[in-house]
Amino acid sequence: MELQPKMGNRWWTNILLAGISTLICLLLSEGVVRLTGKFQPRSGGLADILIHDDTLGWRGIPNSTKIHVVGRTETEIKTNEIGYRDSPLSFAENPEDKKRILFLGDSFCWGFGTPQDKRISEWIESLDSRIESYNFGMFGYSTDQELLTLRMYGDKVQPDIVVLLFCINDLLTNDSDEGHRLPKPRFSLSENGTLKLINIPVPRVSKSDKAINWLRGHSALFNAAERTTLLIQEKLALKKQRQLAEKSDEYGRSETPVSKSDLQSGLLKRGFDGTGVTKYLLRDIQAECNRLGASFILLMVPSSMIWTQRHAETPPEAILVLDWCRELGIHAFDLFPIFHERYKQTGENLYVDDFQDRMHWNENGHKLAAEALYPHLMETLTNNGVESSPELHSEEN
């Protein structure tokens, strides 16, 4: 008598076979995607270099040396005792009477894809031996986190000048509880114009986001799927913005360029309307600088290789921020035309030229930014009673 298999056993066998087939297909797809070289796993990613911070959201792992990898770009990240990418801090008296410049910013100031000694802060020190730079840039920080950083460390550094590298994506993240899928603090604006700190203590990363970050670091197939999804979302958003073109205001915020690489479209797709807390954050940074007895300079960051190559003008979102600075009496200057002019005249590449990143400066970009910033530093220090450096000025001339 022939025995018939039980229905339950057959059902589990089919599930097992389907699971094995799916796994084989995923492994084969993973191999094919890796062969293209376009969506490599982001090993050495954020999870390897950052730790949670209850106030700031995150900071670097203190006293560590890590390799951060994105695409073909590998960067050594060596941190000091508080987790910032800088030399060990010395808050002692200043016997040499050096002028202290405190740099604030995101991954541009932090030096994504750039050796530590080739960043804007280090180039400034190389231009003038009287200057001592303190780099408090951190990957993914927004203006709100930069204000909190200044409040935490400004009294210890006692800077003569605070330089803020402003990237226009902060116009969005300043009004968000997240940055780069990481929870962050946020300020809310009260009716009387004061800012109130909320989302404190900052929540820890959720298990789902931890899983996503793990997949980004280990699966090219996941990165390809995520990138494709983002491109589809961008195209849909651009289509919607073109439909709203007749409603554009004086800043042209509804007239979105077709290219996804344009910074303007990168902001508009997420609904920036020219409002939010950014203007008030800049006001409070200026107030904190005044309390410290420090001058405040805002440096407008050109954050797209494509924009630099194609456009001589400054994006309207950046113009809006520069207008706020004029209104608030903040010393601000714009690097967009300077970067474009250098590329137009020499064709020099100023950005990390990698298929996964063409927005961050390479060491040439950092050097150009430092050379452009230096006269503004000298003007400010001179107005504060510091003699200029004739030797350096003669070299520039």
Beta partners for 196? 188
Question: Which CATH superfamily, name and number, covers 46-218+276-396?
Answer: SGNH hydrolase (3.40.50.1110)
- Per-residue pLDDT tens digits for 275-285: 689 999 999 99
Q: What is the dihedral of CA 63, 65, 60, 367, to 10 degrees?
A: 110
- CB count within 10 Å of CB 59 equals 22
State pTM to two decimals: 0.80
- The pLDDT tens digits along the chain (397 residues) read 555 555 667 788 888 888 888 888 878 877 777 777 666 665 455 667 899 999 999 999 999 998 887 667 788 999 999 999 999 987 666 656 899 999 999 999 999 999 999 999 999 999 999 999 999 999 999 999 999 999 999 999 999 999 999 999 899 899 999 988 789 999 999 999 999 999 999 999 877 776 777 777 777 777 778 777 766 765 665 555 455 444 433 333 333 333 333 334 344 445 555 668 999 999 999 999 999 999 999 999 998 888 899 889 898 889 999 999 999 999 999 999 999 999 999 999 999 876 566 789 999 999 999 999 999 999 999 987 766 554 444 333 3
88: exposed, middle or buried (Cβ count in 10 Å: 0-12, 13-18, 19+): exposed
Cα angle vertex 377, ends 394, 317, to 5°?
A: 120
Residue 240 CA to residue 259 CA, distance in Å, equals 14
**Nearest one of 148, 80, 140 to 105, comparing CA atoms:** 140
Across all residues in the chain, what is the average pLDDT? 82
- Per-residue pLDDT tens digits for 359-372: 899 999 999 999 99
**Nearest one of 332, 274, 275, 330 to 299, comparing CA atoms:** 332
